[in-house]
Amino acid sequence: MSQESIVPGELDDPAVHAVEVPEPGAVTIVVPTFNESANIRELLHLITESVPARLPCEVVFVDDSTDDTPEVIYEAAKDCPFPVTVLHRDEPVGGLGGAVVEGLKAASSDWIVVMDGDCQHPPSLVPELVATGERANAGLVVASRYIKGGSRAGLAGSYRVAVSRGATWLTKSLFPRKLHGISDPMSGFFAIRRSAVTADVLQPLGYKILLELAVRSRPRQVTEVPFVFQDRFAGESKSSAQEGMRFLRHLVGLRAASPVARMVGFGLIGATGFVPNLLGLWALTLVGMHYLPAEILANQLGVAWNFVLIEHLLFRDRRQHRRWWDRAGRFALLANADLVLRIPLIALFVDRFGMGALSATALALVTTFVLRFVGTEALVYLPRRGRGGPDSAANARRAV
């Protein structure tokens, strides 16, 4: 990742490209960009008009563009009365959310304001976001379209309005406690105290970074200010069906972050494995195979089905700790050991404790399920000893 800083007063010095970010102002404005060259001059003009006179600031662009956006930022910044930094990422890890996290790490002010680069978030509201946070002693101030005085007018078309409202309802239903007091968790416009967020705990995926912040690193005190969502100045929206799928995967990952939620999800996924298991058993016995070897083979279909779903829905963020064949082999071993263990357990419950066959079977199922879940977490998806420590995390950050 490359970094360039443009410092007022030194614009004619060719050595300016590699200088350090200057002394912090009162607010760092973080702007993630992807091919927004047509919007840059207008955005910096709007910031110049409305922010520095009321609040000292610096602007950090985190750029994933494949066009000339970084060059346009550099040229436009020559007319700005505040420092402008460009962090260009060759690999857009985490999408827009990952870009924001890089901006949070690079920010040098007590307050950080995150906003889009398409001029739909009015820079004139930046001082109000910070002032509201100071007055309320809040750690997070959300610019909301859904409180009195706010509007989603800039959302183009009824389809985008419906998607936005549906996504808001879904997220608030899934995280009622974490999102309490946040009427617009889909907002990309907010202010956060640098001391209120630990960037290293964030695992962004896609463009809804506020949701990630609120669920994984929510400050105690949160407040909101209304804002009117503007029309895009130039270019086209980056929203797509692919981004929608990333958002849904992100939701599942956030919801499965707690052990209880993961265990419930593990059980539900396990239950769906009966379908390929039974279909396989039916097909194999239909062609004349004896039911015992047919059941053993059919069980592997259920194991494979469960492994794929668990990989993508429950442990997506832990897959890097082992190679896929190592994870698959360990998972299959645990799943098949469940069958071997269940029969002796049933016999133990019946013979030693005098339980009925039905209740003994039910208890054995619960016991092996819990053991399988704990074993899957510990033996398949937890980092191996000596990996994933602070040093490796630091190296990963430096390599971005």
Torsion of CA 59, 237, 179, 114, to 10 degrees: 0
- Backbone phi, then psi, for 270, in 5-degree steps? -60, -40
Distant-in-sequence, close-in-space partners of 322: CB < 8 Å, separation ≥ 6: 330, 380, 381, 384
Predicted local confidence at residue 196, as pLDDT? 80
Which tens digit of pLDDT belongs to each residue from 57-109?
Answer: 999 999 988 888 899 999 999 889 999 999 989 887 877 888 888 888 888 88
Distance from chain centroid for Cα 142: 18
- In 3-state terms the chain splits into helix, strand, coil percentages (rounded to 5) of 55, 10, 35
Predicted local confidence at residue 90, as pLDDT? 84
Closest CA to 329 of 277, 379, 264: 379
Q: What is the DSSP letter of 201?
A: G
Q: What is the DSSP letter of 182?
A: -
Q: Which residues of the chain have pLDDT under 50?
A: 9-25, 387-400
Distant-in-sequence, close-in-space partners of 9: CB < 8 Å, separation ≥ 6: none
Q: Which helix or strand (DSSP H or E) is residue 396 part of?
A: helix 390-399
Q: What is the DSSP letter of 45?
A: H
What does the alpha-carbon distance between residue 67 and residue 82 come to, in Å, rounded to a whole number? Answer: 25
Closest CA to 97 of 257, 259, 249: 249
CA geometry: angle 158, 164, 167, nearest 5 deg: 135
Look up the pTM and report it: 0.63
